[in-house]
Amino acid sequence: MSTAISALGGVGLFLLGMTVMTEGLKALAGSTLRTVLGKAAATPLLGSFWGAIVTLLVQSSSATTMTTIGLVSAGLLTFQQGLGLVFGANVGTTGTGWLVALIGVRVSLTAAALPMIFVGALTKLLARGRIAGAGAALAGFGLVLFGLTTLQQGMGGLAERLHPADLPTVLASPEGPWWSGLFGVLALVVVGLVMTALMQSSTAAVAVTLSGYFAGAVGLDQACALIIGQNIGTATSSALAAIGASTTAKRLAIAYVLFKLIAALIALTLFPVVTPLLVRASNTVDGVTLLAGYHTAYNVVGVLVLLPLVDWFTRLVERILPERGSPLTRPLDSSALATPIVAVEAVRQTIARALATACGSIEAALAGRAVPIRLGKDAASVPDAADALRQAQTFLSDVSGPPETEDEQRHLTSTLHALDHASRLTELANGGINFDSVGGGPEDIRARELCAEAMRSAAAIARGVVASSRAAGSPPILPASPGADVMAGPRAISTDEAMPELERCATQLGEMLRPHRNATLGAVANGTLTADAALVRVETVRSLEALSRHAWRSAAHLVGRG
C-alpha cells in the first residue's frame, strides 16, 4: 500500500510541479512567447525548429499550441505556418524526458528540491510581474524534482512485486508465432495511452515509464511500446479541448491527433527492427538514456516525414473540417483572449475585414450607378460589417488583462480609434443615404465621385492590413475592385499610394461642404430648387463627407498613421 501511495504521490507532485513551473515560465516570458512564435514561423521548417525550442523553454506544448491557435486565428500566421509550430512542439515536449533520464532517476534530489520550493514560493508571494513568474518557475521545478524522487522510491518498491515477465511479451521468440509479439506491443500501447489519458500529461506518463525501467519493473522493449502509446494518449487532451472551440482550434487539434497517429504508425512499423537494436545497445549505453532518445527520435521522425508533405497535410485537414462562419469575425478566436496583444491583433484584423467590406459595398453603389441605391436597404454586406464590429468590441472587452509595454498600449489605443471610426461609418451607411428623389447637380456628382474614390482607397488599405499580417515584410499590394469580392479583385493599389488619395478625397469633401451648402440653399431663393430637395442635397453631401472622413481616420489608425 505504501508503495502505491508513494508512486501516486510522486506522480501528483510531478504534475503539480509541471503546472506551476509552466505558468511561471509563461508569466516570465510575457508577450515574448507570442512575438517569438509570430516571427519564427516564416516557413514550416523554421516554425518546427522554434516551436521545439519555445516548448522546451516553457515546458508546455499546450502553451505553444494555444498561442499558435491565437496567432492563426488573428491572421498573424497561416494555418500551414501554425502546423509547423505544432509539429515542433511535439519534439520540444520530449525535453522533460531527458531531465528524468539524466537527473531524476539517478539521485535523490530532495536536498536540492526543498530549498528551491521555499525560495520560489517566497518570491512568488512577495514579488510581482515577471519576478513573481520566475519564483513560480523555480518552485515548480523544485516540485518536479521532489516528485521524481518520490516516484523513484515508489517504483523501487513496485519492482519488488512486478517483473518484466509479468507484462506482455513484445518481441516474439524465433520459435513462437509472429503475432504473439504484435499482441504484446498493441496491449502495452493501449496501456500507455490510458496512462496519458488519465494523467492528462504524456510527460508524466513517460516519467513513470522511465522510472519503472530504471527500477527493473519494465523491460526496455516493453518501455518502448508504452512510450508509443503515451505519445498517442497526449492527443486525447487536445481532442477534448477542441470540443465547442473555434474552427481553427478544431483544425489544429485534428492535425495534432493525425500527427500522433502517423508517428505511431511509423514507430510500430519499425518496432521489430529498432527495438532489438536498442536492446543490444543497452549493453554499452544506459537504457534510460536510450529510452529518452527513442522518445525524441520517435517525434522527430514524424516531423521529418510530414514536413515535406505539409501542403498535402494542410489540404487534408481543411477538407476534413471546412471553414464555417463569417469570414469577417474569423479572427475572433477565444484562445486569443489569454494574450492581450494577440487579442488586439485579432480585433484589428476584424476591423480591417469589416472596413474593406463596408467601403467596397459603398464604393460599388456610388460608382456603379448614375442614381445610387439606398445603402441602408440594399447593401447587405454593410450590416454584416456593422455586426462584426460589434462582436469585435465585445471581444476586446473580454481580454484577460492590459498590454504590458508602451508600444502595445499605443497599438491598443490606435485599434480602438480605428474601431470607433469604422463603427461610425457602418452606422451612417446603415442609416440610409437616399439619392432617389434628387436629380443631382455637378457639385453632387463630384461629391459622389470623391466619396467613391475615398471608399476605394480605404478598402485597399484595409485589404493591405489583412494581407500584410500573413506576409510580414512584404509590401501590402492589394486588390480593389468595386462590386467584387471585398478581399480580392483585379486592380492593385499600394497603401503608400492609397493613403494620400484617401486623405485628399476626404479633405476636398470637407472643404466643399460650406460652399455647396450656401449654393444649394441659395438655389431655393431663385426658384431652382424646392426647400425639401435642397435640404436633402445638403444632408447627402454632409453624409458623404462623414463617410469619407471616418473611412480615412479608421484606415489611418489601422496602419499606424493616426
For residue 42, give the C-alpha cell: 516564416
**Could you tell me if residue 329 is inside a domain?**
no
Cα 138 to chain centroid, rounded: 27
For residue 159, give the C-alpha cell: 519492482
For residue 439, give the C-alpha cell: 436629380
**Could you tell me if residue 165 is inside a domain?**
yes
Give me the domain span that covers residue 484: 334-558
Domain C-terminal end among 320, 344, 361? 320
pLDDT string in tens for the chain (562-residue length): 566 676 677 667 766 776 776 666 566 555 565 666 666 666 778 888 888 887 777 666 766 776 777 677 666 677 888 888 888 888 888 887 787 777 655 555 566 677 888 888 888 888 877 788 778 878 877 777 677 666 656 655 554 555 556 667 666 544 555 556 778 888 888 888 888 877 767 777 788 888 888 878 788 888 898 999 888 887 776 676 666 666 777 788 888 888 889 989 998 888 888 888 888 888 888 888 898 899 899 889 989 998 888 888 888 888 888 777 677 887 887 767 767 777 888 899 899 999 998 988 888 877 654 334 444 443 447 888 888 899 989 888 887 667 767 777 888 899 999 999 999 999 988 876 654 444 567 787 888 888 889 998 999 898 888 877 654 433 333 333 333 344 444 345 677 788 899 999 999 989 988 888 888 888 888 877 888 888 888 888 888 899 999 999 999 999 887 6
Centre a 10 Å sphere on the Cβ of residue 298 and count the other Cβ atoms it contains.
22
Domain C-terminal end among 267, 296, 320? 320
Co-location of 248 and 154 in the same domain: yes
Q: Are 85 and 102 in contact (CB under 8 A)?
A: no
Q: What SS3 class is residue 283?
A: coil
**Could you tell me if residue 328 is inside a domain?**
no
Co-location of 399 and 509 in the same domain: yes
**Could you tell me if residue 346 is inside a domain?**
yes
Co-location of 44 and 182 in the same domain: yes
**Could you tell me if residue 326 is inside a domain?**
no
Co-location of 313 and 375 in the same domain: no
Question: How many folded domains does the chain comprise?
Answer: 2
Co-location of 297 and 342 in the same domain: no
Co-location of 378 and 443 in the same domain: yes
Co-location of 276 and 348 in the same domain: no
Domain C-terminal end among 264, 286, 320? 320
Co-location of 315 and 234 in the same domain: yes
Co-location of 312 and 396 in the same domain: no
Q: What's the CATH number where 341 sits? A: 1.20.58
**Could you tell me if residue 354 is inside a domain?**
yes
Centre a 10 Å sphere on the Cβ of residue 8 and count the other Cβ atoms it contains.
13
**Could you tell me if residue 75 is inside a domain?**
yes
Co-location of 310 and 391 in the same domain: no
Co-location of 183 and 52 in the same domain: yes
Co-location of 312 and 357 in the same domain: no
Q: Which residues of 496-518 are buried (b: 16+ CB within 10 A; e: fewer)?
A: eebbebbbebbbbbeebbeebbe
Q: Helix (H) and strand (E) counts for the chain?
A: 21, 2
Of the candidates 68, 23, 66, the residue with the CA atom closest to the CA atom of residue 50: 68
**Could you tell me if residue 364 is inside a domain?**
yes
